[in-house]
Amino acid sequence: MINLSHTRDWSVFNARDYLHEYYADIGSENLAILHFMVRALSEVSPDSVLLDFGGGPTVYSLIASANHAREIHFCDYLDTNLEQVRMWLECHPQAFNWTEFIKTTLVLEGNDYSKQGVCDRERKIRQRVTQVLHCDANLPQPIETDVDGYDVLVTNFCAESATDSVEQWRRFVTNITSLIKPGGRLIMSTLKGASSYGVGAESFPAVNIMEDDLMELLIDIGFNYNTVHIESVPADRPSRHYQGLMFVSAIKRT
Ligand SMILES: C[S@@+](CC[C@H](N)C(=O)[O-])C[C@H]1O[C@@H](n2cnc3c(N)ncnc32)[C@H](O)[C@@H]1O
């Protein structure tokens, strides 16, 4: 039975339940996310150092990223999520299967999506990811890194999916984006008009934000107005407790 009151206890976040709930197939939401990643990254230099912040137990955002970065750092708050990502990076037989996501990304990029094409991209991702780190968006310095400002920061469904407080969401995004160098790029996906999201029998809080909230915050924290692009798509299942997804790309002021 679904528990309708939200938990704040992250120790009950089950990484495999989350993967099965949201990444078991490529519906219109996941297709839109992959398409956004391909479009947003197409303008990024392959010489970039990229951080995936709050990547959870997923590697889908690394698929397109691997083609546009010489080095990728990955972080999440939960060890259980980092464990799932390490399993995939180490080709563990019980790792989650991302093959359909890789194939679809290759199709969207116009690249070879044969078995060999998929294997080549898997190898590239595994070569590019050099650090898997713990992070905490509550902290002014959310990760321990010697990188003095990332060229690109990707963060999907993290800040707004870790709280139901607008104030805390603003603080999370401020802390997360402080890791981007001046002139660097933010690539972010968020829930839109959310109240919560389910993971197995648990319900986690999400903040209720819309395009205007995002725009206002990004300008306040140092992104160049002319570079902020926001798109949205509707949720693809009526069972979801959010209206849709928003996709943001923005450049930090120099
Ligand atoms: C909805 S999941 C998103 C995971 C993944 N990025 C995706 O696209 O599916 C929310 C993520 O926020 C992370 N999280 C929760 N509290 C956090 C915090 N204080 N700092 C950073 N990440 C946090 C969780 O570990 C979880 O991986």
Q: Could you tell me the distance, in angstroms and rounded to a whole number, from the CA of residue 132 to the centre of ligand 1?
A: 14
Q: What angle do CA 152, 92, 37 make, to 5 degrees?
A: 25
Query: To the nearest whole percent, how much of the chain has pLDDT over 70?
Result: 98
Average pLDDT on 18-23 reads 96
Order of all β-strands in the sheet with 71-76: 129-134, 71-76, 49-53, 150-156, 180-192, 244-251, 229-234
Question: Which of 4-13, 45-54, 207-216 is the least confident region?
Answer: 4-13
**Which atom of ligand 1 is nearest the CA belonging to 204?**
1
One-letter identity of residue 2: I
Distances (CA, A) of 128 to 4, 67, 125, 176: 40, 9, 5, 21
> Measured from the CB, is residue 135 less than 6 Å from ligand 1?
yes
Residue with tokens 């980092």: 82
For 170, how many CA atoms within 13 A lie in the half-sphere containing its CB? 12
> Measured from the CB, is residue 77 less than 6 Å from ligand 1?
yes
Question: Which residue among 7, 10, 158, 197 is best mutated to probe the pocket of ligand 1, counting the most ligand atoms within 8 A of its Cβ?
Answer: 158
For residues 157 and 154, what is the distance between their CA atoms, to the nearest angstrom? Answer: 10
pLDDT given for residue 2 in this prediction: 40
Q: Could you tell me the distance, in angstroms and rounded to a whole number, from the CA of residue 77 to the centre of ligand 1?
A: 6
Which residue ranges form the domains of the chain, and what is each CATH number? 10-191+208-238+245-251 (3.40.50.150)
> Measured from the CB, is residue 38 less than 6 Å from ligand 1?
no
Quick: pLDDT tens for 215-234: 999 999 999 999 999 999 99
Q: Could you tell me the distance, in angstroms and rounded to a whole number, from the CA of residue 81 to the centre of ligand 1?
A: 9
One-letter identity of residue 202: E
Average pLDDT on 249-254 reads 97
Distances (CA, A) of 196 to 8, 162, 239: 12, 10, 11
Average pLDDT on 103-123 reads 98
**Percentage helix, strand, coil, to 5, in the chain?**
40, 25, 35
> Measured from the CB, is residue 138 less than 6 Å from ligand 1?
yes
Question: Which residue among 161, 163, 178, 203 is best mutated to probe the pocket of ligand 1, counting the most ligand atoms within 8 A of its Cβ?
Answer: 161
